[in-house]
Amino acid sequence: MKAIIPFSDLYFDRMKSLVHTPDELKKEGYRLEEFWPDEIQGLRRCRDCLVRIKIKKPKKKDTDGAYNAIPVIKPMDDEFMKGDKQARLSSLVPSPAKSETSFDEEDGGVPLLQPEQPEDKLGDTESADKEEDLIIFDDEETDRGCDGKSEVTEKEEDLLIFDEETRKGCDAKTEVIEKEQEILSKVEGAIEQISLVEDDEAEKEKGDEVPSKGEAPVEGICLGQAEEAKNEKKKEEEKKKPKCRFHPGAVVNKYFICCNKFLNTPGCVERENHVSRTYQPGELEATWQMHETPANRTHWTRRAVALDCEMGIASTGESELIRVSLIDYFSGEVLLDSLVYPTVPMLHFSTKYSGVTRGMIEYARHRGHCICGRDQARQLLWRYINSDTIVVLHGGKGDLLALRWIHKAVIDTYMVESSRKDGCEKRSLKYLAEAVLGVAIQRGAGHDSVEDAMACRGLVHWYVGNGP
């Protein structure tokens, strides 16, 4: 797979035909624009169980009156959109005091972060599962499986109920969330009726990466029906579950000291609602600032590259970049392969999947052999990538998001495989590398992002040669 792929215009034209349209990317959950202030408010997480909190509209039947009373909110007009971003931000961000009142802050809000947990923590999937990011994106792991999609679609439909007016340059999901937020801030009187709900814990099938609690998809079965039934089942299970569940105690030798239960045991404390973490003014905005690839070309700039990242979980519950690998598509040269020392406190390094331990990261930093944080990683990638460079990746929306990077020339092999008429039902990189290329990857403990990027490059090469 490391062989050179000879460049030709014909080859490159075929490759360009595989590049997804912005609409396709958005539909898949790629972030192609900066977060709007009200979306950013929707990125809060529960301080205890770390699940992403969203504010749900009240149930229609008992709140018809309240909803009718909501003033019609005018969509932002073009002039507004053109205006100064800072001004928009400040005019739109609810004051911290006001937004705090929407949440059930119990005790002055000193965030009780989850205790540090061993790197080989089996419960990785717990937090990853809870990263229910249907609103804007999914985490890396969820990108690579097959089954999460129908849940997301279902929830989109759920949300789309009161989506009427559209705003330019903003996808439907975004608008709905914005409206929810706007409505919330307008209807102060109705605030008690609005309950905080977690985004459902989607126990998504994550390909081979994360062991699924549900049943694996059986090849040959109509997936639509199977998923429907599965979703129904999940919904019912969801209703029975308390909303917020966590362990207040630290982990010692893989056991929680609060209840003396093993790592992956569900939380011993249950609460009816989540409690938002307390965020400093501007913290969320700074955390989620996105950056678009510059257009300038240098002699370093490549025509196409393959990218793969490894992620851990920050103490906020967010995915955080810990390793980045970049390969020149045509030459196969490894342009960049480095551990990334996160600039935020980490909960764990998802070692089981990332292959990266805290020790490795600390050692690399000690030796000065690592990149410092996602922003520096992005800058280093941009040495080789301009806005025209085709970036090849597999289920890469999480990778780009972890880099806070907006890039539009993308070939996502997960998406290509999904759109092929005789594509595989299983679309994990491991499976496809084996089925399509006959190459076994991800055999050892954890992934090797160079190996994964190389496999992804091999897949695109196959698609170019054999048609998508």
Q: Give the residues lining the site for Zn ion (CB under 5 A).
A: 46, 48-49, 244, 247, 256, 258-259, 268, 274
Q: Nearest distance from residue 237's CB to Zn ion, in Å?
A: 17
Q: Nearest distance from residue 154's CB to Zn ion, in Å?
A: 22
Q: Nearest distance from residue 127's CB to Zn ion, in Å?
A: 12
Query: Could you give the CA distance from residue 52 to residue 132 in angstroms, rounded to a whole number?
Result: 7
- Looking at the Cβ atoms of 102 and 354, the one nearer to Zn ion is 102
Neighbours of 32 (CB within 10 A): 18
- Looking at the Cβ atoms of 48 and 308, the one nearer to Zn ion is 48
Query: What's the Cα-to-Cα distance from 327 to each of 25, 136, 331, 412, 414, rounded to whole Å?
Result: 22, 28, 8, 15, 18
Q: Is the dihedral of CA 142, 143, 145, 148 positive or negative?
A: positive
**Which residues lie closer than 8 Å to 237 by C-beta, 6 or more apart?**
none
Q: Nearest distance from residue 242's CB to Zn ion, in Å?
A: 10
Q: Nearest distance from residue 277's CB to Zn ion, in Å?
A: 10
Query: Which H/E stretch holds residue 305?
Result: strand 304-314
Neighbours of 318 (CB within 10 A): 23
Query: Could you give the CA distance from residue 448 to residue 458 in angstroms, rounded to a whole number?
Result: 15
Question: Would strands 291-292 and 244-246 be described as parallel, antiparallel, or unpaired?
Answer: unpaired
- Nearest Cα to Cα of residue 147 among 218, 54, 199: 218
- Looking at the Cβ atoms of 75 and 111, the one nearer to Zn ion is 111
Tell me the sheet residues that pair with 323. 310, 339
- Looking at the Cβ atoms of 258 and 437, the one nearer to Zn ion is 258
Per residue, what are the HEC states of 144-200?
Answer: CCCCHHHHHHHHHHHHHHHCCCCCCCCCHHHHHHHHHHHHHHHCCCCHHHCCEEECC
| CA 424 to centroid of chain Cα atoms | 23
Q: Tell me which DSSP letter residue 441 carries.
A: -
Query: Could you give the CA distance from residue 250 to residue 268 in angstroms, rounded to a whole number?
Result: 12
Q: Nearest distance from residue 259's CB to Zn ion, in Å?
A: 3
- Looking at the Cβ atoms of 26 and 274, the one nearer to Zn ion is 274
Q: Nearest distance from residue 287's CB to Zn ion, in Å?
A: 19
- Looking at the Cβ atoms of 248 and 468, the one nearer to Zn ion is 248
- Looking at the Cβ atoms of 190 and 268, the one nearer to Zn ion is 268
- Looking at the Cβ atoms of 48 and 178, the one nearer to Zn ion is 48
- Looking at the Cβ atoms of 19 and 197, the one nearer to Zn ion is 197
Q: Nearest distance from residue 265's CB to Zn ion, in Å?
A: 7
Query: Could you give the CA distance from residue 407 to residue 77 in angstroms, rounded to a whole number?
Result: 26
Q: Nearest distance from residue 44's CB to Zn ion, in Å?
A: 11
- Nearest Cα to Cα of residue 429 among 392, 457, 456: 456
User: What's the token pair of residue 274?
Assistant: 């989540």
